């Protein structure tokens, strides 16, 4: 990092209006833009693989033997769940921290992080595409991939840690320079999320410490139960990593589209701290049926999973309160008038708002999955796939795509290409995702299995019951793929059309509500280091017992297999 510190003057806009700070490419714009366009390219490729899967499961096409269903499923899952989201979130948080903490800084660490992430992604992608790593995005043992895949995944994680280190160093600088001031809210959200991410990805590191020697032939077998436990130590917090990225936009970017404010600085920080503390000790609810894990630990994780609902409800309250206050300031009263007043023709608002609607259904589905008796019925069915898509593809991906319509013009200084197409795109995404995910849920209730290429079962009558739902899922997937194509046209068109904006577009973060009725944020909420230590302690309390049980139990070391 640069040792010379010079803080540019940040204009304090009157009346609580968003602060503006022009960022040059040397100030990080190119770095963030590279993250966003990498995520865009990955989204397009992942969507293509997703469309082919949907058409294949509906028996509308037959995939070639040289690029089978499971290879495509692995590519789709890894690209969408691990790569697209990670590149966008790390780019967004880099932007948030650089903007909220203006200073002269070195970009070296940020670029190193990006390059390391790209190298890891490329290694894993090569392994998947050449057919040596069709282990799905969960990479469950005893399915055995080539070492290239495991090394690639590890390097991708190490790259995110490097980006996190860049964020942490900038926030630490801010606290040294202004010890009596609160961390700016966007930087706080980014830092809190990256602390959670580092704690969660320790599970990946632990799992890879077993998988890599095994894949190299240095060990005779693998403890399947232990690797599954390490994966879900990471796997469920991964969802909150996505959600916290989307929440950052909901809380601080969406209000700027209607000249609103963050409802409460303190409540927002409390929500993020609750997610930091509660995200990790929940993963065993994915292993209700796994042997070797005591029922008491599963019950504990089920209870902590229910607790994660609380910050989601707090977020719903804060977002709707921000809508209401913004409308009242504009002289609008009444529920339906407020709904009509909101800027539904602005894609930067409409995308996240439609994502919030999808998240309501995703949240209720999550409660079903966390309920032992109901989870037993749906766990290995298409219900889970539908839940995953309506939760990740709805509130998260749609929010990121819509935010790009504000972020890319702000980074390039260019007009948004085809803004009407951008608006059509977010609504098309909502329709396609609704049709596809509802159809997947319905197919799951009828018993359609997931992770299965051919679900016709040689024409069995029972299998025919979910064929109609599979066709509807293909219809929704086709609409979604068209929507992704529209997004790529707008995102890349903005760059290549090269139409300078009359005034530099801004991608602002809204200030928190001020005034006599706004409560000051307690200083204790700002002590992220201490909250991080508490989060580590909770993770240890939740997992030390199950891991010790797993290690002490007699384990059959599986030699590994390839079913493809």
Give the dihedral of Cα atoms 316, 321, 327, 332; nearest 10 deg: 100
**12 Rama sector, left if φ>0, alpha if ψ -120 to 50, beta otherwise:** beta
Catalytic residues: 236, 240, 387-389, 450-451
Q: Which residue has the tokens 């916290």?
A: 244
- 79-105 CB burial, b ≥16 within 10 A, e <16: bbbbbbbbbbbbbbbbbbbbbbbbbeb
Report the candidate in 104, 110, 114, 111 with the shortest Cα–Cα distance to residue 173: 104
Q: Which residue has the tokens 């890319």?
A: 408
Omega within 30 of 0 (cis) for the link into 124: no
- 307-321 CB burial, b ≥16 within 10 A, e <16: ebeebbebbeebbee
**Which residues lie across from 414 on neighbouring strands?**
500
Decide: 413 and 23 in contact? Cβ < 8 Å. Answer: no
- The Cα 543–Cα 435 span in angstroms is 38
How far separated are the first and last CA of the chain, in Å rounded?
Answer: 47
CB atoms within 10 A of CB 519: 10
Helices (H) and strands (E) in the chain, counts: 19, 2
Q: Which two tokens stand for residue 182?
A: 């609160």
- Which stretches within 68-216 are classed as H helix? 69-77, 85-100, 108-129, 147-177, 185-215
E strand map for 72-133: none
- The Cα 37–Cα 43 span in angstroms is 10
Decide: 27 and 95 in contact? Cβ < 8 Å. Answer: no
Report the candidate in 7, 87, 13 with the shortest Cα–Cα distance to residue 45: 87
DSSP H/E element including 222: strand 222-223
CB atoms within 10 A of CB 329: 12
Q: Note the Cα 501 to chain centre separation in Å.
A: 31
């Amino acid at each position: 990092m640069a040792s010379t510190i010079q803080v540019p003057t940040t204009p304090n806009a009157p009346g609580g209006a968003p602060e503006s700070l022009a960022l040059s490419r040397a100030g990080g714009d190119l770095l963030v833009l590279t993250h966003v366009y990498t995520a865009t390219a990955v989204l397009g490729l992942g969507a293509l693989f997703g469309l082919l899967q949907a058409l294949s499961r509906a028996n509308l096409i037959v995939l070639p033997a040289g690029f089978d269903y499971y290879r495509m499923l692995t590519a789709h899952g890894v690209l969408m769940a691990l790569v697209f989201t990670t590149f966008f979130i790390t780019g967004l948080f880099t932007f948030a921290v650089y903007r909220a903490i203006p200073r002269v800084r070195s970009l070296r660490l940020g670029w190193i992080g990006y390059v390391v992430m790209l190298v890891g992604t490329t290694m894993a992608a090569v392994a998947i595409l050449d057919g040596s790593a069709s282990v799905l995005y969960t990479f469950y043992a005893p399915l055995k991939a080539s070492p290239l895949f495991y090394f690639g995944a590890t390097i991708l994680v190490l790259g995110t840690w490097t980006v996190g280190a860049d964020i942490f160093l900038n926030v630490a600088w801010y606290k040294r320079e202004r010890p009596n001031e609160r961390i700016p809210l966007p930087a706080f959200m980014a830092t809190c999320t990256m602390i959670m991410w580092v704690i969660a990805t320790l599970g990946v590191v632990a799992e890879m410490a077993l998988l890599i020697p095994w894949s190299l032939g240095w060990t005779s077998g693998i403890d399947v139960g232990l690797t599954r436990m390490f994966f879900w130590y990471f796997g469920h917090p991964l969802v909150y990593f996505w959600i916290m990225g989307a929440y950052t936009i909901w809380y601080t970017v969406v209000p700027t589209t209607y000249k609103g404010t963050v409802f409460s600085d303190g409540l927002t920080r409390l929500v993020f701290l609750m997610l930091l503390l509660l995200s990790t000790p929940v993963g065993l609810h994915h292993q209700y049926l796994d042997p070797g894990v005591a029922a008491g630990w599963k019950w504990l994780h089920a209870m902590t999973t229910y607790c994660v609902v609380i910050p989601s409800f707090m977020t719903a309250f804060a977002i709707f309160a921000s809508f209401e206050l913004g409308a009242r300031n504009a002289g609008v009263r009444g529920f339906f008038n407020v709904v009509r007043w909101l800027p539904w023709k602005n894609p930067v608002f409409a995308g996240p708002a439609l994502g919030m609607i999808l998240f309501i259904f995703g949240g209720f589905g999550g409660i079903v999955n966390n309920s032992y008796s109901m989870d037993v019925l749906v766990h290995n069915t298409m219900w889970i796939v539908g839940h995953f898509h309506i939760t990740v593809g709805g509130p998260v991906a749609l929010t990121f795509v819509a935010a790009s319509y504000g972020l890319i013009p702000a980074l390039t200084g260019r007009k948004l290409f085809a803004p009407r197409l951008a608006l059509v795109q977010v609504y098309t995404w909502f329709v396609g995702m609704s049709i596809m995910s509802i159809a997947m849920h319905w197919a799951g209730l009828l018993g359609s299995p997931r992770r299965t290429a051919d679900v016709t079962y040689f024409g069995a009558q029972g299998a025919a019951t979910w064929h109609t739902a599979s066709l509807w899922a293909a219809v929704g997937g086709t609409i979604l793929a068209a929507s992704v194509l529209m997004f790529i046209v707008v995102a890349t068109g903005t760059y290549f059309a090269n139409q300078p904006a009359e005034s530099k577009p801004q991608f602002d973060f809204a200030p928190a509500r001020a005034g006599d009725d706004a409560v000051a944020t307690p200083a204790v909420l700002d002590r992220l280091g201490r909250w991080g230590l508490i989060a580590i302690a909770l993770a240890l309390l939740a997992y030390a017992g199950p891991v010790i049980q797993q290690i002490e139990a007699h384990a059959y070391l599986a030699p590994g297999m390839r079913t493809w």
